[in-house]
Structure 1
Amino acid sequence: MKKVALFLANGFEEIEALGIVDILRRAGIPVQTVSITNGKNVTGAHNITVLADITFAELDFADVDVLVLPGGMPGAKNLNEHEGLKKKVKEYAEKGKNVAAICAAPMVLGGLGLLDGKKATCYPGFEPELIGAKVTGEKVAVHGNIITGKGPGFVFDFALELVETIAGTGTRKEVQEGLLI
């Protein structure tokens, strides 16, 4: 089964980050939360502090198949300022590995030129950051190996799309039913 790394920066959107982790784990998908700060404690946009599983420096990318970027402000901006993360995101996308971003975080993909000519969605107002994208405004947009989500109200749609991409339609349906969706 593919393994997922979800990156946390100070100011991350708690509902998105923790909701995605919860849904992926319900599906039996291995996911690690990765702090891009110097320590494992990361504080979200609404002052909820979480303990990440590991730090960016500790992550063995050879053991990771999918990269996920939650939104929130200034979390997405902080992700976008982390050169090591951006390098890995670009590398993964160019190798055809799955990269997913929700809310304001698709700005990272747009800034790297990864959305050129591709369908994408984001939190309203961040469309100019999706450089070259065909902005859909949908809850979730999938174009090849790139998955983008609109925002916190659509975290279930986004995470379930990840479940389907990684583990198939049957697992998505099973998790969806368990969540009463």
Structure 2
Amino acid sequence: MPKNIYVFLAEGFEETEAIGTIDLLRRAGLPTHIVTIEDVPHVTGAHGIAVQADLSIREVYSADVRALVLPGGLPGVTNLDSSPRLHELIHDAVGDGKLLAAICAAPSIYGRLGLLQGKEATAYPGFETQLQGAKPTASPVVRSGNFITAKSAAYTFDFALAIIEALEGKAKADEVASAIIYQRH
């Protein structure tokens, strides 16, 4: 069974959404890898924070995927969406029934690829129109089928905990929330 969760970063990613999610997934004991879509070891976020990647996107193989995670931020989302390899990995994950998660502006990538057809989804205000085929909702975090979408950086912990719950169950998500003294919404 594939075990890896891949969090994809591109220049201009939203740091809170990326780092907060990575941190909680790793606290849950989930093998979580930071992946850059560029062929460089570092990627810089929208607010100037540089992050060391674990892997380049060319080192990610569909057979190893348990979940794909896309943080928001601009121009990070635009840069992610320009990666044909990321699109390929996303399509493979959908075909294999893997978990796909995106927060803030990033759910728009799944929408533009036509993958949210008939699913409930949320995104940063103003990006709902790019959730093509989805049933937009005002909820801050939504799980619909194998997709988890979240509205903004303010909901990063809820987003990460939803991913943990989807992969490892509610008890594990509650354990991680309790360890950081976080009240789940």
State the TM-score bracket (shorter-chain normalisation). over 0.9
Contact 1:2–1:166, Cα closer than 8 Å, also in 2: no
TM-fit CA distance, 1:112: 0.7
Hey, what's the Cα distance between the residues in 2 that align with 1:36 and 1:3?
Answer: 17
SS in 1 for 2:85: helix
Residue in structure 1 matched with residue 51 of structure 2 by the alignment: 50
Cα deviation digits, residues 140-167 of structure 1 (max 9, x gap) = 1111101101110000000000010111
Q: TM-score by structure 2 length?
A: 0.95
CA distance in 1, matches of 2:172, 2:142: 20
Q: Deviations over 1:90-126 (max 9, x none)?
A: 2211321111110000011001100111100000011
| Contact 2:62–2:93 under 8 Å retained in 1 | no
Q: Is 1:93 aligned to 2:94, yes or no?
A: yes
Corresponding residue SS for 2:69: strand
1:176 maps to amino acid = A
Residue 13 of structure 2 corresponds to 12
Distance apart, 1:62 and its partner CA: 2.1
The AA in structure 2 aligned to 1:63 is D
Shift in Å, 1:61: 3.1
Aligned to 1:59: 60
What secondary structure, in the 3-state scheme, does the structure 2 residue paired with 1:28 have?
A: coil
Q: TM-score, normalised by structure 1?
A: 0.97
Distance 2:13 2:66 in 1: 22
Question: Which stretch of structure 1 is more off in the superposition, 55-64 or 91-100?
Answer: 55-64
The separation in 2 between residues aligned to 1:26 and 1:152, in whole angstroms, is: 19
In 2, Cα distance between equivalents of 1:155 and 1:60: 26
Q: 1:176 is matched with which residue?
A: 177
| Structure 1 residue 59, shift from structure 2 partner | 2.1
Please list every run of 5 or more consecutive structure 1 residues that lacks an aligned counterpart in the other structure.
Answer: none
Counterpart residue number, 1:79: 80
Per the alignment, residue 2 of structure 1 pairs with 3
Structure 2 unaligned segments of length 5 or more: list them: none
Structure 2 distance, partners of 1:171, 1:110, is: 30
**Cα RMSD (Å) of the superposition?**
1.0
Cα distance in 1 for residues equivalent to 2:71 and 2:168:
20
Q: Tell me the equivalent position of 2:114.
A: 113
Report the Cα offset of residue 179 of structure 1. 1.1
Identical aligned residues as a percent: 48
Amino acid at match of 2:100: V
CA distance in 1, matches of 2:60, 2:95: 20
Letter in 2 for 1:143: S
Q: Does 1:27 align with 2:42?
A: no
Q: Does the CA contact (< 8 Å) of 1:80 and 1:107 recur in 2?
A: no
